[in-house]
Amino acid sequence: MYRVLTEQFGNPSAQYPLGFEARSLTEDSRAVIAGALGCKADSLYFTSCGTESNNWALRSAAWHGRRTGKHIITTAVEHSAVLEPLRALEQEGYEVTRLRPDRSGNITAEQVANALREDTVLISMMLVNNETGCVFPVEEVARLLRQRESTALLHCDAVQGFLKVPCHPVSWGVDLMSLSAHKIGGPKGIGALYIADTLKNFRPLLPGGGQERGLRSGTEATAQIAGFAKAVELRRDNLAEKLAHMAALKAYCREKLLTIPGVEPVGEGTAPHILCMSLVGYPSANIVNELGEKGVCISAGSACHKGRPSHVFSAMGLPKKVAAGTFRVSFGPDTTEADVDALYEALKDHQARRFPML
């Protein structure tokens, strides 16, 4: 990224040598990311983030099916970057069915089948829930739509799933898929939207100068794009070992934390990088703040909640005390057992001082 900012800083749309160089860099980066996703490079469009990708996908998919109907299916535990645009579409006359998970946090394809109607124009389902780590049956839903010969489009928010669990929009038959660089160690401020080749005349997000083949105009963020591609290259190198490492650390962490009185598991997330637990009966914000002061960074849920109660745990129907104490532990390729041990010691100390009788 530094090299692009200082040496390859031309405008990719410009007709001078620095521009040609920047354009080549952008397209090479697009090919790297598309290769990891298993799609053609010209099916991938750069955006500023996953939220932008989700908004574009949802609004344009609704417009695409405007002559078919106004019914949309989603889950009650999607990221706010999906739920909020759908609330806006409801105000414009769309009907949204929100599927609720079971107490383990799981959603089934059967729920989608039961909700599917002739006037359904869109199903939006995340690949991995960002708070529980539950993997949703996106491939099964795509197969269901083919079997029903439904014209509804399938959008998948894969921000938490890309390069962490299987993610194959082309072979699965997904129409739209949202990505974000910072979830795989890339820079913040760059995302992408996969648009299937079958979607002709897809509605542009930003009309203007014609960048991104006329669908998302605006000068390309060349440094962020290069950073996104480099993060993909780095993550794909020995990916199987990295995923196994994260899964092993998750299991190790879960086992250790469950020895602390009052700690319970939340959900049955199988993604290797997210562990959801609860210190029952104590506000998770206090846990996060106190452990943060000791240099241990965990989360009370999505960073986008900003301290508000989680809609995910509400939809799961967790008991109030369990929901209040939930926290999320995230794992990356560089996380170590020493990091987990530091978390364990800090949480054990916190519990002993706050719950001396447990």
Phi and psi torsions of 84, nearest 5°: -70, -45
Q: Beta partners for 149?
A: none
Question: Known catalytic residues?
Answer: 304
Per-residue pLDDT tens, the chain, 358 aa: give them: 999 999 999 999 989 999 999 999 999 999 999 999 999 999 999 999 999 999 999 999 999 999 999 999 999 999 999 999 999 999 999 999 999 999 999 999 999 999 999 999 999 999 999 999 999 999 999 999 999 999 999 999 999 999 999 999 999 999 999 999 999 999 999 999 999 999 988 999 999 999 999 999 999 999 999 999 999 999 999 999 999 999 999 999 999 999 999 999 999 999 999 999 999 988 999 999 999 999 999 998 654 555 567 899 999 999 999 999 999 999 999 999 999 999 999 999 999 887 654 4
How far is the C-alpha of 312 from the C-alpha of 101, rounded, in Å? 9
pTM metric for this prediction: 0.95
The token pair that represents 298 in the structure block? 């965990």
* Pairing relationship of beta strands 71-75 and 120-124 according to DSSP bridges: parallel
Q: Give Cα 349 to chain centroid, integer Å.
A: 33
Q: 239 near 184, Cβ under 8 Å? A: no
Domains and CATH numbers, the chain: 2-236 (3.40.640.10), 239-354 (3.90.1150.10)
- Do residues 156 and 353 make contact, with C-beta atoms less than 8 angstroms apart? no
Residue type, 68: T
| Neighbouring C-alpha atoms within 13 Å toward the C-beta of 104 | 9
Residue type, 92: E
